[in-house]
Chain A
């Protein structure tokens, strides 16, 4: 089937316990959901994104992703202003299952407090977190 690449958690990303990842680029970051989250939901059929220009808050929901059977809030791993929503995922939500850390990113944000990055897990800590689930 399409999607379901093998389980992976790249070392160059930071992770939030609610199964979100962040790729930090200076005072900006790209955010998405992890393989674990996408696999648990199943093939995605809908992504309800935030508005570009809106503000997202660490620990709060900024969007929704849905599979046939379930809907899940997407929790912001960092606070900031939404610079861009991934239109490709709005049009083809299954992109998240196929490539969760690449084409399947959800939003790009300008960080309001870059020090929050220190509170996120590295890949090794996140793998341990997933193993406990």
Chain B
């Protein structure tokens, strides 16, 4: 029997009556009072997620940038200290080992926040390729990470306005944290990185300010409405960034691992593409379901905002354009779906 890891907020989740489930080796809250209420709170107001299971890897030294530029798909030179970037760790075939956000802490220091399920593999990948003059450390256990997301999140935390993909060191109700303008919900918000021992104080402060505790189930429905891919499902070491629609995160003129293969795929055009879709009939698409024409659903759920089945799936390139009609085998019943533009759901911005 495998022992599950617990975040520094485990006792808080238990006290709130969360339903806890195993996820990537961690015992995590999947929901508190209900996934739909939690989802709507993030779309309408403010929710908080404990995402302390995610991995934090620090890369430091005069050759840190050189190491990372050779392994990560995006152009690292485009960010300076205080800025962050969505990027991919790629293999020689152009497949996706992980997707992550890299934060430039200083001229010679970077922090990578990676998927919990890939923490060990990413760390090993970087360590094996380490250069003299680049030091890679797994600092995940030192930190807790809270995602505070939703249209009122900035106001509730009394933070100033800042551009997306920037970060700053700030103090929130007495807790020092790195306030990152990033997220995985499609709403404005922040991700707060703090020392593990401060996690409960920060969590309590954020709840006191009116954020609703939200679990992994709502995190999944929110990211799917926003069309953010989930590693291990929509993107994997066997799927490439071009087919996944992540070419924008690949600086193909740099020499990162797999760049040559991705240039070839881009020039020839991928055979299949990851397409967002909405069901036009009742039913809920799920991962693994077949899409007529040789495709497959990689993520599916019921959208709380659209009250419809939604999903992402790989389909033949000619089926992938918005408006294209798909037929999905939902447990033996053929269900009609339509490819839509990204994102699947976006809240109308109030003027």
Contacts and interface: CB of A to CB of B under 8 A. Distances in A.
A43 B284 contact: no
B33 A1 contact: yes
B283 A68 contact: no
B236 interface: no
Interface in A60-85: 64, 66-69, 71
A112 interface: no
B36 A68 contact: yes
Contacts of A90: 282
Q: Is the interface of B mostly helix, strand, loop or mixed?
A: mixed
Interface residues of A, number: 16
Contacts of B181: none
B34 A43 contact: yes
B309 to A, nearest CB: 8
Interface in A30-85: 42-43, 45-46, 48, 64, 66-69, 71
A90 B302 CA distance: 15
A114 interface: no
Bin the interface of chain B by size: 10 to 19
Contact of A66 (B31, B37, B302): B302
A48 B35 contact: no
A46 B33 contact: no
A69 B284 contact: no
B284 A1 contact: no
Interface in B317-351: 331, 333
Q: Lowest 6 CB-CB distances: which A-B pairs, in order? A: A45-B302, A1-B34, A1-B37, A68-B35, A1-B33, A66-B284
Interface of B: 30-31, 33-37, 217, 221, 282-284, 286, 301-302, 304, 309, 331, 333
Interface of A: 1-4, 42-43, 45-46, 48, 64, 66-69, 71, 90
